[in-house]
Amino acid sequence: MGSRWGFLIRFLGAVWLLGLGHCEQQTPETAAQRCFCQVSGYLDDCTCDVETIDKFNNYRLFPRLQRLLESDYFRYYKVNLKRPCPFWNDISQCGRRDCAVKPCQFDEVPDGIKSASYKYSEEANNLSEECEQAEQLGAVDESLSEETQKAVLQWTKHDDSSDNFCEADDIQSPDAEYVDLLLNPERYTGYKGPDAWKIWNVIYEENCFKPQTIKRPLNPLASSQGKSKENTFYSWLEGLCVEKRAFYRLISGLHASINVHLSARYLLQDTWLEKKWGHNITEFQQRFDGILTEGEGPRRLKNLYFLYLIELKALSKVVPFFERPDFQLFTGNKVQDAENKMLLLEVLHEIKSFPLHFDENSFFAGDKKEANKLKEEFRLHFRNISRIMDCVGCFKCRLWGKLQTQGLGTALKILFSEKLIANMPESGPSFEFHLTRQEIVSLFNAFGRISTSVKELENFRNLLQNIH
């Protein structure tokens, strides 16, 4: 246990030392340079450069990944949007129509997904009909075979284990509903102001290992002009160990990715005739322009690339799990399920072929006790962040926040489970390492959001080049 946690913690820490390039200030700068000049060129301490990532994602991976996410298996996500906020009671629910989420009617969800939302393999899906009468996920039908009872209990026990980084929804709850992600896309909803800022403020203030003496402005777009370097928000990072700085970069990268989505799918026109969604250049500049954000915007984009590389690495590590012959993307349509598994493996093999993956073998595990302590801190902080998503007042924002935090949590679970994945049996149930359907759907959709962000950065570069 200790060695695998130690390796990844050192791996994340070493990646923090990367910079995504630095450009000398040019006068005058174009709008594109002010947002992107520091996110180009080679990464420090490795052979990877941003242009290689852009080319790989935008022209090789993105089209296939989007086609996979449009399939039935990945488009339906079960979520409980009615869970109460565990931290405060004064939640102002967004009353805007664009904040609403339209759940699926029961007959709209493929039968195979409804009957097998817990497990994924052919064996487990065959057993699902026998288990369907159980009142809850962990219940064991006495009529089941001894081997089946053991499998259900092992899976349930593992789902409650300390390897999980998220507090997942109880998908058996009457309040949990299927949502078609394609019909409820992540985009600008108008949810903003103190209620929205409060969510990210709590995440940064209380869950990113930040000293209490350093305060972040409630409004993330607020200016810090006139403050000394010692009082700026980022100065505290220099005093943290590299592992804790890496944790911050993951959260910042997720925040940046979400902001890119909202800027790229902004409500530009709303009339009784039509709604027009598109790229809002002004909104993008407010969040990422180097001058308007006093240097913070380009840091956010750097952290987005950092997050991309971490999740890319996790997907490359979990390939053996999906290559097992008894794994399938079960929806009930055998022909479509077989085609989608082939597409899934194509995507994963494409990811594995990325030429500039980090060589984690060059990082050595630290002290076992220290590594386990840091791992537990990572897990508890991230679980807390997953719980904060139930405090988001906009239901569509809550949906995508919950999905993307669960996806990142699943990626961390994979990276910390390298040896368990390597020791999986070639067939049959894997008791030491498994992924539920919820984890699989959130993992790929969350990475799909980050991949979309990288693709959208190319679009914004092109749009900003025409602004002087």
Catalytic residue selected from 99, 208, 391, 397? 397
Structure tokens of 248?
């911050």
- Cα 462 to Cα 406: distance, rounded to the nearest angstrom: 32
- Cα 128 to Cα 135: distance, rounded to the nearest angstrom: 13
434 annotated among ligand-binding-site residues: no
pLDDT for position 266: 94
Single pTM value for the model:
0.83
360, 65, 447, 151 alpha-carbon torsion, rounded to 10°: -80
300 annotated among ligand-binding-site residues: no
* CA–CA distances in Å: residue 323 to residues 235, 318, 329, 408, 418: 45, 9, 12, 21, 15
187 annotated among ligand-binding-site residues: yes
- Cα 327 to Cα 73: distance, rounded to the nearest angstrom: 13
Nearest residue to 100 via CA among 393, 442, 402, 438: 393
Write the CB contacts of 127 (distance below 8 Å, at least 6 apart in sequence): 119, 144, 148, 151
- Per-residue DSSP letters for 399-458? HHHHHHHHHHHHHHHHHTTHHHHHT--SSS--SSS---HHHHHHHHHHHHHHHHHHHHHH
- Per-residue DSSP letters for 348-359? HHHHHT-TT---
pLDDT for position 136: 39
- Cα 382 to Cα 412: distance, rounded to the nearest angstrom: 10
pLDDT for position 115: 74
User: CA torsion sign, 124 to 130 to 133 to 139?
Assistant: negative
200 annotated among ligand-binding-site residues: yes
Task: Answer yes or no: are the C-beta atoms of 68 and 341 closer than 8 Å.
Answer: no
Structure tokens of 362?
């060059």
Give the pLDDT means over successive 10-residue stretches in the chain (468 positions).
54 48 49 66 54 91 96 95 85 77 92 67 45 39 50 50 66 88 93 83 74 52 43 59 75 94 92 87 92 86 88 93 90 93 97 74 52 76 87 93 94 86 80 88 97 95 82
Residue 166 a catalytic site member: no
128 annotated among ligand-binding-site residues: no
- Run of H or E residues at 78: strand 76-80
Q: Tell me, what DSSP letter sits at residue 140? A: -
Write the CB contacts of 141 (distance below 8 Å, at least 6 apart in sequence): 130, 131, 133, 134, 149
Residue 193: CB atoms within 10 Å: 11
pLDDT for position 381: 82
- Cα 100 to Cα 395: distance, rounded to the nearest angstrom: 6
Structure tokens of 300?
């956010």
255 annotated among ligand-binding-site residues: yes
Residue 394 a catalytic site member: yes
User: CA torsion sign, 397 to 403 to 408 to 409?
Assistant: positive
Measure CA 36 to chain center. Answer: 23
